[in-house]
Structure formats: C-alpha cells, structure tokens
Structure 1
C-alpha cells in the first residue's frame, strides 16, 4: 500500500517541478524577447539618424561649394592644396 502512495506522490512532485521549470522558462523568454525587440528598434533609429546626418553633410558641402568665391591660384599652390585636401578626407565623419 505504501508503494502506491509513494509512487503517486513522486509523480505529483515531478509534475509540480515541471510546471515551475516551464513557468520560469516562459518568464525568461519573455524578458529576453522584449530586450531583443527594443534593441532592434534602437538600431533602426540609429540607422535613420546616420542617414539623415549623411544627407545633411552632403547638403552642407554643396552649400559651402556654392558660396565659395572663385580664386585664381597658381599651379604650384594647387598642388600643395591637393595634399591638404587628402589629409582632410582622412578625418572621420561625425
């Protein structure tokens, strides 16, 4: 008789442990999934911001080139200026 009661109690205990493990797993999955979706949203916003900054930089360059007065410089100064332009192009965009 004890064997029947003990085997029933063990199966009930294992059922309770399984349910608790399942609930803990679901809670962990919920928080991990939530954090992942927030990260994806932040990445999309940062990419949109980068796109806007690139467009703004291109527009500023066009405006500066349009407002720049034309200078007649000797050929020697143009070659020196070319070296300076190369250095400026190496500077990273913000």
Structure 2
C-alpha cells in the first residue's frame, strides 16, 4: 500500500513542479514581451522625432538664407579675402 502511495505522491509532485515551471515561464514571457513592445514604441517615437527635427532644421536653413541680405553676403566675401591677405602676411619671408 505504501508503494502505491509513494508512486501517487511522485506523480503529484512532478505535476506540481511542471505547473510551477510553466507559471514561471509564462510570467517571464509576459515581462519580456511587454518590455519588447515598449521598446518598439519608443523607437517609433524617436524616429518620428528625428524626422521632425530634420524638417525643422531644413526650414530654419531656408529661413536664414531668405532673410540674409545681399550686403552681408558681400561683407562675408570681403572678410574672407581679408583673412587670406592676413595669412599671406604671416608667411615668413626669406
């Protein structure tokens, strides 16, 4: 009789262990799946933000170019030429 009782307890114990392993596995799967979906959402939001920033930069560049007067562009060219002259002055003579 005790042999039958021991065999039944072993079956029940293996069933309980299997159920506990399955429950732990499902809980782990839930948290990993949840973290993965949140990460995907964050990546999508960051990509959308990057796209908007690129658009804003392009718009700001166009606005700056449109508001830049012709005189400033000419002054910039003259300043660049003056810098070139100063560079020549820095060259040691032989």
> Which TM-score band applies after superposition, normalised by the shorter structure?
0.7 to 0.9
More helix by share: 2
Separation in 2, partners of 1:59, 1:76: 28
TM-score by length of 2: 0.76
Q: Describe the superposition over 1:4-58 as per-residue Cα deviations: whole angstroms up to 9, x where unpaired.
A: 2101111111111111110111011111101110111011101100110111011
- Shift in CA distance, 9/75, structure 1 to aligned 2, threshold 3 Å: closer
Q: Alpha-carbon deviation of 1:74?
A: 7.4
Task: Determine the structure 2 residue equivalent to 1:60.
Answer: 60
Pairing of 1:27-42 with structure 2 (within 5 A) = 27-42=27-42
> Which structure 1 segments of 5+ residues have no match?
81-94
Rg: which structure is higher?
2
Q: Alpha-carbon deviation of 1:73?
A: 3.1
Aligned residues: 80
Return 58-67 or 70-79, whichever deviates more: 70-79
Separation in 1, partners of 2:50, 2:7: 64
Separation in 1, partners of 2:16, 2:62: 70
Q: CA RMSD in A?
A: 1.7
